[in-house]
Structure 1
Amino acid sequence: MPAELPLTGGNASAGVVRLGDTVRKPWLPGTPAVHELLRVLATADPALRLPVPGEPPRDATGRQVLAFLPGELAMLRPPMTTPELHGVGALIRRIHDASPTPDQWMSAGRPDFDPPLLPAHDRHGAPAAPDLIGHHDLAPWNLVVDEGADPAHPRFAFIDWNGAGPTTRAWELAYALPAFAVAAPDSEPAVLAPRMRALLDGYDAAPELRGIAVDLLAPRAAAMHALLRDAHRDGVEPWGSMFASGHGAHWRGVADLLAAHPDEWMRALV
């Protein structure tokens, strides 16, 4: 039996280990729905690299069994190049196109997801009607980059689908854009905008979706800050510790930056 190797590097990796060609991680109430989503995506687009559930999907100790995807987390690598950002956008589009709508999910009698940490909102601040089942955390800390035999053309795969559930394309993009562009409170809009544009172009987003995603940039970042702030206040982990370790200040600063330059984002991205 191979030894268990802790997998670290992400923002919430407690209890996650590699065992041979599998990943073992804690079983959660929403895990049956997440596993079913991964199977649905793999069937809809067999070329997607996904951490699909094993057979059986639960080991003798009660943990999840998922396929191990080789590579390195994007957050541990240099900032992505423009072509790489374009590729990430294309991957997100493939995942979204392969994802069922909430109505399709419910009508098939599939398991319920855990309530989302950050439910989608529209550009007016009202709750948005979900238009797909999404990942909810499309960011460099959940993207595995596998250079394999061809470093010039790395393969990408999203991991950590624990938070998956109903959401909207625009809400997912509004989070992924600044995360992958490596937005920081002191970022220059002239540097950040082309990087976000590369991801949106890779997604091949229609003008209406681009406009909504741009309007949601600052609200989505502010919602992330509020989640971390409230978790710290209420002692909810791992989000509370993340707030105290600097993630809270980061997202507050990013939200302020995005809110301060709406015209620049609209001109560059739409």
Structure 2
Amino acid sequence: MAPTPRPERPGPDTEVLHGGNTSGPVLRVGGTVRKRWHRAAPSVVHLLRHLEKNGYEAAPRSYGRSLTGDQLLEYVPGTLADQGPPLTADELHRLGGLVRRLHDLTAGHGPRHPQQAVWDVAIPDPREEVVCHNDLAPWNLVRDGDRWVFIDWDGAGPGTRTGDLGYAAHGFVPLHAGGNPDADGARLCALADGYGCDRAQREELPDAVLHRVRGMYDLLVEGGRTGRAPWAGLYAQGHADHWGPAADYVARHRDRWRAALLR
């Protein structure tokens, strides 16, 4: 049964939420979040309802489309992971398990009418194994006590297990320029262990990280060159200054990390 939408009428508890870099303004109205409806929204709604039906607690409930034409989602209280210290090794292990559960539930998943499926995947993977979140990052993980919830599913769509996990590794390990390659390798292993990566996935994971990180840098640079929204705006804000050096860092150390993952 589809969830019952919450009341539509805005009240004094309306606030503008942090984020919305690619989706436009995000508002909280009472116990709901309102976001712009977009071309992939029907597929995202179906995905979130599939996850809810199967007991996946690390995603917000979708209430469909509001009377004003916006996406209507559950508001999840808590603190974004990027506002706290880096995850511990045990927390990275837990995170890997949440990503694995997501992928196991979305393997073979698609909208009721696959020919009508529309997704908005910014960096396509070389294969389509599962439906990925595609932006698993500290700025999209809300923690409230024992409940962890991934938000901002607008970029969800088909991809690979290691691509989604590799993007998560960039933000949560984190794999950023100026890191400690040995410490980063140990933390990457904790994430992969939590996911339950097999040998082939461990071999592929460092290259999958590079594909996603370099892909984000290229997307920003191309946006800056062509003016394509929203990437042009993010490029102007200096986001490429992070992603370019991060990609170089991953490229330099991926063989070391692959060896650590396979030990």
TM-based fold match above 0.5: yes
Partner residue in 1 for 2:30: 20
SS of structure 2 residue aligned to 1:211: helix
Partner residue in 2 for 1:39: 49
Task: Please say if 1:209 is aligned against 2:201.
Answer: yes
Matched residues in 2 for 1:134 and 1:77: separation? 25
Q: Find 1:134's aligned residue among 126, 132, 135.
A: 132
1:1-21 CA distance string (max 9 Å, x none) = 523211115644631011111
Partner residue in 2 for 1:162: 154
Deviates more, 1:172-181 or 1:8-17: 8-17
Matched residues in 2 for 1:49 and 1:192: separation? 25
TM-score (norm 1): 0.87
Partner amino acid for 1:262? R
Matched residues in 1 for 2:235 and 2:84: separation? 23
**Which consecutive unaligned segments of at least 5 residues does structure 2 have?**
1-9
Matched residues in 2 for 1:228 and 1:15: separation? 20
Matched residues in 2 for 1:12 and 1:75: separation? 18
Partner amino acid for 1:94? R
Partner residue in 1 for 2:58: 49
TM-score (norm 2): 0.89
Partner amino acid for 2:121? P
Q: Find 2:230's aligned residue among 216, 226, 238.
A: 238
- Checking the alignment, whether the CA contact within 8 Å between 1:178 and 1:196 is kept in structure 2 is no
SS of structure 1 residue aligned to 2:131: strand
For the aligned residues, what is the CA RMSD? 1.7
Query: Displacement of 1:156 after TM fit?
Result: 1.1
Query: Displacement of 1:196 after TM fit?
Result: 1.4
Partner residue in 2 for 1:69: 76
Matches within 5 A, 1:85-164: 85-101=92-108, 104-105=109-110, 108-110=112-114, 111-120=116-125, 128-147=126-145, 154-164=146-156
Matched residues in 1 for 2:15 and 2:69: separation? 18
SS of structure 1 residue aligned to 2:154: coil
Report sequence identity in percent.
Answer: 39
**Which consecutive unaligned segments of at least 5 residues does structure 1 have?**
121-127, 148-153
Query: Displacement of 1:215 after TM fit?
Result: 2.3
Return closer, same or farther for 1:219/1:47 CA change in 2, 3 Å cut-off: closer
Deviates more, 1:22-31 or 1:232-241: 232-241
Return closer, same or farther for 1:59/1:105 CA change in 2, 3 Å cut-off: closer
Query: Displacement of 1:76 after TM fit?
Result: 1.5
1:27-71 CA distance string (max 9 Å, x none) = 001101100001111122x142322211xx222221111111111
Query: Displacement of 1:209 after TM fit?
Result: 0.9
Partner residue in 2 for 1:84: 91
Partner amino acid for 1:79? P
SS of structure 2 residue aligned to 1:197: helix
